[in-house]
Amino acid sequence: MKVIGLVGGTSWISSVDYYRLFNEITNQRLGGNEAAKIVLYSVNYGEIVTYTHQGNWDAIAAIIADAAQKVEKAGADCILLGANTMHHVAERVQQSVKIPLLHIADVVGKAITEKQLKKVALLGTKYTMLFDFYTRKLAEYGIETIIPDAEGVDFVNSAIYNELGKGKFLPETKQGFLHLIGKLAGQGAEGVILGCTEIPMLIKQEDTLVPVFDTTLLHATAAVDFALQ
């Protein structure tokens, strides 16, 4: 069994989910008392959020790369960044370590391709939705991505930073997400990427008829696949 490396803390709420999923999926595969081998480095989310709002991605890249290097030195065989937004600096992080970085958008692109979908909506922080690091990856799989209008982008981004990342999951916010998903489906989205690792705690597949892609679950599953291959 290989060792899974996770740079977490962005936010710690979703890092808990990653840890649980690594172990649950490993135990489902192997049975008995088997569990995953994991190295976790949890960064200070407050520091990351401050630099994010400042647009200081060089500082963020330095923090995440340093964490990845420490995870590698601790014996990890792969690196996962436990947040969709942090993949804006994924290429720089990969350059800082010798072990493979499992890119979340690659994992999601493969899952969408398996469903034979060609046009999907992307929900996440405004950086995930408006920057091109995610949509560019999906385009490599022949997938067209649409995002909400400016009001929708602000709603999702605010919910992530002010509620979900703090462990607040409000019924009215859930309804807002479901309304937005319905609107995007009406614009031709065949599926919806829950492109922030906290969103799957609020929105479940049973909440909507539109296929949803739980990026946390997909990413964690890919890590276990790697560890057990």
One pLDDT digit (tens) per residue for the chain, 229 residues:
999 999 999 999 999 999 999 999 999 999 999 999 999 999 999 999 999 999 999 999 999 999 999 999 999 999 999 999 999 999 999 999 999 999 999 999 999 999 999 999 999 999 999 999 999 999 999 999 999 999 999 999 999 999 998 989 999 999 999 999 999 999 999 999 999 999 999 999 999 999 999 999 999 999 999 999 9
Strand order in the sheet with 4-8: 38-42, 4-8, 78-81
Domains, the chain, ordered by start: 4-103+217-228 (3.40.50.1860), 104-214 (3.40.50.1860)
Residue 90's pLDDT is: 97
Site of tokens 């969103």? 199
Residue type, 227: A
C-alpha to C-alpha distances, 153 to 7, 120, 149, 159, nearest whole angstrom: 26, 16, 6, 10
Total-model pTM: 0.94
Residue 226's pLDDT is: 98
Cβ(163)–Cβ(179) below 8 Å: no
Cβ(80)–Cβ(219) below 8 Å: yes
Cβ(42)–Cβ(12) below 8 Å: yes
Residue type, 66: D
